[in-house]
Amino acid sequence: MVEHIVQDGGSNDGTLDTIAGHPNTSALLMSEHDRGIYDAINKGMSRATGDVVGLLHSDDVFADEGVLSRVAEAFADPDIDCIYGDLQYVSASDTTRVIRHWTSGPFNRSNLKRGWMPPHPTFYIRRQLLERHGGYDTSFEIAADYDAMLRWLWCHRLRPAYLPGVMVKMRMGGESNRSLGRILCKSREDYRALRRNGVGGIGTLALKNLSKINQFKPSKTQGQ
């Protein structure tokens, strides 16, 4: 069973009207003021009752209707703590136009020191592990997701599985990439996350940013 939890920050952008227009939806809605995106995520995750927790941000869409079924099948293996897949950045006005293709690849813990990370919008984790090891640190404005994954995968050595194939399409213009100022802020926070989790420093941060270059090359898997 899929539990849909909608955490709204008291918006007036039509979100509540959209949900109200689907009276048969199983979504559990909460609309209230929050202290930023990671505070809202923490609130939403704290309301979850299922065995596995994942996110779908308001501007993101699943790549196809079978994504959650594949996630559930992967978690049938009790040795798997979390899963992730591939991500496509798409045009904000046309989700069929792929701008950046992120093929994450199989997990190798040592790659975290080379700037590798799984795409956060594709990341799912067992709820009991989330509760045990903590959610998102709200002292980060943009990079709390990177900090959390370094903590989970490096410090606590959770066992992830890679699901090949695009799981999520993410519209360009999100919080971390909508301006040069936000990109610089994210780099500063990424560096803080690396240092606090003992994963690396400037060299790791440089490799992390350089690894994005190949994601802009045409990929045979685009459109899948």
Q: For all residues of the chain together, what is the average pLDDT?
A: 88
* Model pLDDT for residues 54-70, shown as the tens digit of each residue: 999 888 999 999 999 99
Instruction: Indicate if the pLDDT at residue 73 is higher than 50.
Output: yes
Where do the domains of the chain lie?
A: 51-216
Res 88: pLDDT: 95
CATH architecture of 51-216: Alpha-Beta Complex (3.90)
The enclosing H or E element of 129 equals: helix 127-133
CA 126 to CA 80: how far, in whole Å? 9
Instruction: Indicate if the pLDDT at residue 24 is higher than 70.
Output: no
Instruction: Indicate if the pLDDT at residue 112 is higher than 50.
Output: yes
Instruction: Indicate if the pLDDT at residue 14 is higher than 80.
Output: no
Contact between 88 and 101 under an 8 Å Cβ cutoff? The reply is yes
Res 128: pLDDT: 96
Res 59: pLDDT: 85
* Model pLDDT for residues 163-202, shown as the tens digit of each residue: 999 999 999 876 655 667 788 899 999 999 999 999 999 9
Place of tokens 């996110």: 55
